[in-house]
Homo-oligomer: A and B are copies of this chain.
Amino acid sequence: MSEYDDATRLETGDDPTQRHGTFHEEWMIGNAVNGGLVMTTALRALGEHLASDPTETTEHVDPVVLSAYFMTASQPGPFTVTTEVMRCGRKLSTGQMTIHQTGDDGRPVERMRAIGSFGNLTDLDVQRQASPPEMPPPEQCVSAEQAPPDFLANAKFLERLDLRLDPSTAGWALGKPSMRGVMRGWLRLRDGREPDTTMLMMALDALPPVAFELGLFGWTPTLEFTGHVRRRPEPGWLQVTLGSDTLGGGMMEEDAMIWDSAGNLVAQSRQLCGVRLPKAGG
Contacts and interface: CB of A to CB of B under 8 A. Distances in A.
Given A67-B67, A67-B226, A226-B224, A247 B127 contact: yes
A64 B128 contact: no
A6 to B, nearest CB: 30
A147 interface: no
B228 A253 contact: yes
Given A86-B71, A230-B249, A246-B230, A91 B274 contact: yes
A47 interface: no
A126 interface: yes
Dominant secondary structure of chain A at its interface with chain B: strand
For this chain, the copies found in one complex come to 2
Contacts of A174: none
A277 to B, nearest CB: 7
Q: Lowest 4 CB-CB distances: which A-B pairs, in order? A: A67-B67, A124-B249, A126-B248, A128-B247
Interface residues of A, number: 49
A245 interface: yes
A226 B110 CA distance: 22
Interface in A237-274: 244-253, 265, 268, 270, 272, 274
A199 interface: no
Contacts of A128: 181, 214, 244-248, 252
B91 A71 contact: no
